[in-house]
Amino acid sequence: MNSETLAKLRSLCVSEVAFEQLKQTLTDEIQLLEQEIRQAHALAEQRETLYRAIARLREPIQEKGLIVFVIRAIYNAGQCHN
């Protein structure tokens, strides 16, 4: 949080202890939301990889190239998920 926001919040609190508790609560919530955003991005990347693999399956290609592509896509999707 920027200093202006912190100053506004501090002025709303009855004590420094209340302000510190509020600040910690907001910090914890922000961290959880940032983690959820990272997970959503990883899921979106995984879905995009699988979408590309499915689209590639629909193209007429050689069997060996298809197998290599699918194995790489599955491996990369697994890497995004971890």
Average pLDDT score over residue span 2-25: 91
Average pLDDT score over residue span 13-30: 93
Per-residue pLDDT of 53-64, as tens digits, reads: 888 777 665 666
pTM higher than 0.75, yes or no? no
Range of the domain at 34: 3-81
Instruction: Check whether 1 has a pLDDT greater than 90.
Output: no
Q: 4-18, 19-33, 35-49: which has the minimum mean pLDDT?
A: 4-18
SS3 annotation, 31-56: HHHHHHHHHHHHHHHHHHHHHHHHHH
- How many domains are there within the chain? 1
